[in-house]
Structure 1
């Protein structure tokens, strides 16, 4: 808890300094190795993530935090094993341009003991070197913590998540036997579903519908979780489509359906989106956009950003067409264009021409980011919040797992669903730069504390745990289910030191 508390205090301190300092103000003294700080889950052996991470805050000899970059190469990080000479660990030190650095590293093997050296001109920073007593498991190691409560404590998971509490409150109980019959009959012909059972910490699945390719995201997060912690026996259905499915009122007999997106008109149980889930699993892998990388690619400093509202995307909603029309009428206020036509191809002559794709990191050259729904909620919102711009978010009936914790005018600037007040809000933002800067920083802080990989794992675990408590019959491996195999790791196998329950032997 100390590390989380320290993290919050330091980041809030940075927010306060950034909100009040004049542009370019900075401590003149160089960073001090003794005074600088290091903290985060990547400095703890039992926090197993695909990419582990921690933070370093540059502090000068008088104890003053840096609030702008002291230089990209200020800190050097070395990670070695006390036993093995050659370590297969990829390290990146990311400069967040606010005086702090995010260090992420991906282990491709399990090591007996790990030493993390954080250096400033060959001097150890803070309490460096940090000793992670082994074995320190890598992402591919199948060695679950048998106690869920111990795992939650190691991960510093919050006691509850508001959205999970809301979703679970819809159900007095859940009957796996009844659901196994009724849900496929009701949804299985027209929708794409996965029927999962987790039994003895093994994952089984049966699919319904034609388009089931997106099951790879759910398969992957479940397998990753079972490698880290023993899950409760649980049986549930996952909707693989964009739109939430359960449209019945709470007074009717509703079925529990897990979806990546919720809406005010449906009753689905919401999970983190497949996009955010994949970015966590593939950080420092095949995915370049994630909640870690975005923090080091936030564009110019606030005063140097373009004071224009920016948007790029495809034509998946009528309001997006209206946005492009507004941009053409007011190019001095809005820069919005389509990169792809799919839904309104017959209107391409009206709303084209298409423009080239823009690197997401280049979005942050602009102060104001417009977030408009696509087919459902726009799944880019976590990354927009994590940058260094303010989000103008369309009012919407769709929501992701964290929306209910966001506050308008605190974390983002709200705009009407029909965009009628968009120009007015942009003008207001231009005239209230200090207030807008604070909103941008609060949104950024929210993303950094609520949407990182450790929180996403916690959310999935808590969701399955709370759902399992509602089951009134025993979860079963149903006819037609197949075992979802753990990926093999012949090159870097690991030995698990934990004693497994007898039913797993």
Structure 2
């Protein structure tokens, strides 16, 4: 098992293995047992503050066997209340994952003293329901950071390390904020779009460089969210707001630490979770409709009922995508690939068009095989494709996201060559080895469920910042030209922080 997994994450993994090895129908006539059904997850812990908290329910019958198919969308009822309050502003959803388990998510719009989570099956309490979260239980908008980073990590069940962070930071023996503040703007500030951030006393300051700095909103948002939850170390760093990683010097040269949302094999940027995945975590049950939780309840038909065709939709942001559409035209029974937008190769629209209508992402999972092919850089849809119930055929690529190096070809996905030369062969292999392909699909899904949920994204950012801050050899400063990034205010539901003020020694 992976190091650093909490007991409930281990349970999640075990249930995934169970599903792979015992994928059989629930016994005819069996019904879930309130006493034997399992409930676990971070949403049952008061100290874990997330934009949308979540927990899991696994239906179990009276003989102790896990359901492996849905016992019915309305099987369980969840009520979350605070006895001290007449009304609770909490939005709750029960998501049926169609495999005998349910994901319950809830977003709090105020902070409460004690929460009681009632999970009911035909009016009977399930497992140890009601689960009582001793208050105060803080909501996402509450600015009440845990002063001890180590305590926060323990509460969050963060893994002890991330290989990608270790790999990225190993290139830097030390980091000099004074030198970087002079050199990086001169080197990149004219042609690229950058943010220069300083975190000082857990407050966020920024200065931007370049014309296209709109994506700064994503970085501001995660920093403000983190500083509401935990005391960050004082630090100073530069974020690349563009698609392509920037630092192309060799490690033996004077390389600069640049944080980017995407890495590549020939650059040295420090990789963070993508802005897309970051926003989906922050806005779960908010303004986004696609996130790691919603996908799990929209994985399409059962495997045996899915269309045995490889599917892809997207825009024309890479030559290989044109080749993919050409392959689809030549082999329509094997590949269904088409463009929904032309931007980069407009002169070729007559060759590769006509454009097709946008397809809901959830409808992708009507197909067994999902093709993941680079766009301008790595295709940021991979986390969601893995979380579905289809097998991913992933193009070999020089670009990567923060988690790619933890994926194993033929275990979590089926690899295809960068030039797509073996794509037809791999689709044919999957058709001829249906059980093996389904097993790969389930392993990829389990990886996404245990590594790419919101709690792990927050852990990754915190670990990255903590380890980076340790490399600093001069004092981070709020420099001339920087502006203070204010926390959003909530006049209707202010929260009162009960934390102590002792600061963690990093």
Structure 2 contact 51–283 (Cα < 8 Å) conserved: yes
Q: What is the CA distance between 1:159 and its match in structure 2?
A: 0.3
The whole-number CA distance in structure 2 between the counterparts of 1:316 and 1:137 is: 42
**Pairing partner for 2:20 from 11, 15, 19:** 15
> In 2, are the aligned partners of 1:240 and 1:259 still within 8 Å (CA)?
yes
Name the structure 2 match of 1:317.
318
Task: Give, in whole Å, the separation in 1 of the partners of 2:205 and 2:28.
Answer: 57
1:448: which partner in 2?
A: 449
Q: How many angstroms apart in 2 are the aligned matches of 1:163 and 1:502?
A: 28
- 1:256-283 per-residue CA deviation (whole Å, 9 max, x = no partner) reads 0000000001000000000000000000
State the match for 1:294 in structure 2.
295
How far is 1:296 from its partner? 0.2
Aligned to 1:190, the other structure's residue is in SS state coil
Asked if structure 2 preserves the Cα contact closer than 8 Å seen for 1:27 and 1:66, the reply is no
Kept in 2: contact 1:195–1:206 (CA 8 A): yes
Q: Over residues 64-106 of structure 1, what are the superposed CA-to-partner deviations in whole Å (9 max), with x where a residue is unaligned?
A: 0000000000000000002001000000000000000000000
Residue aligning to 2:387? 386
Structure 1 equivalent of residue 98 of structure 2: 97
Secondary structure of residue in 1 paired with 2:57? strand
Measured after TM superposition, the shift of residue 501 of structure 1 is 5.0
Kept after mapping to 1: 8 A contact 2:310/2:335 = yes
Alpha-carbon distance in 1 for matches of 2:194, 2:51: 27
CA distance in 2, matches of 1:409, 1:118: 38
The 5 Å alignment of 1:6-405 reads 6-18=11-23, 21=24, 24=25, 26=27, 28-405=29-406
Aligned twin of 2:3 = none
Q: 1:481 to 1:422 in 2, by over 3 A?
A: same
Distance 1:185 1:38 in 2: 54
Counterpart-to-counterpart distance in 1, 2:14 and 2:348: 51
**How far apart are the structure 1 equivalents of 2:28 and 2:466?**
48
Q: CA deviation at 1:9?
A: 1.9
**Deviation, structure 1 residue 2:** 2.6
Structure 1 runs not aligned, ≥5 long: none
In structure 2, what is the Cα distance between the partners aligned to 1:26 and 1:438? Answer: 22
> How far 1:26 sits from its partner (Å)?
4.2
SS of aligned partner of 1:312? strand
Inter-partner Cα distance in structure 2 for 1:279 and 1:205: 23
Shift of 1:29: 1.1
1:5 aligned onto 2:10: yes
TM-score, structure 2 as length reference? 0.98
User: Would the aligned equivalents of 1:26 and 1:68 in 2 still touch at CA under 8 Å?
Assistant: no
User: Any conservation in 1 of the 2:147–2:231 contact (CA below 8 Å)?
Assistant: yes
SS of residue in 2 equivalent to 1:292 = helix
1:46–1:27 Cα change, 3 Å: farther
- Counterparts of 1:240 and 1:26 in 2: how far apart (Å)? 53
Q: Distance in 2 between matches of 1:27 and 1:253?
A: 67
Cα distance change on mapping 1:427 and 1:84 into 2, 3 Å: same
| Residue 502 (structure 1) shift | 9.2
Matched ranges for 1:429-468 at <5 A: 429-468=430-469
Contact 2:148 2:503 in 1 (8 A): no
- State how far apart, in whole Å, the 2-side matches of 1:153 and 1:210 are: 41
Distance in 2 of aligned mates of 1:408 and 1:8? 19
Q: How many residues of Structure 1 are paired with residues of Structure 2 in the alignment?
A: 499
TM-score of the aligned structures, taking structure 1 as reference length? 0.98
Q: Deviations over 1:239-267 (max 9, x none)?
A: 00000000001111100000000000100
Say what the alpha-carbon RMSD is for the aligned residues.
Answer: 1.0
CA distance in 1, matches of 2:201, 2:27: 56
- Offset at 1:388? 0.1
Q: Deviations over 1:370-394 (max 9, x none)?
A: 0000000000000000000000000
Label 1:239 to 1:111 Cα distance change in 2 as closer, same or farther (>3 A): same
Aligned 8 A contact 1:236 1:257 in 2: yes
Judge conservation of contact 1:112–1:136 (CA < 8 Å) in 2: yes
Gaps of 5+ in 2: 1-5
Kindly indicate whether the alpha-carbon contact (under 8 Å) linking 2:147 and 2:503 is maintained by their aligned counterparts in 1.
no
**Contact 2:9–2:450, Cα closer than 8 Å, also in 1:** no
Contact persistence 2:231–2:503 (CA under 8 A): no
Distance (whole Å) between structure 2 residues aligned to residue 490 and residue 65 of structure 1: 46
Q: Is the 8 A contact 1:27 1:64 kept in 2?
A: no
User: Per the alignment, in what secondary structure is the counterpart of residue 292 of structure 2?
Assistant: coil
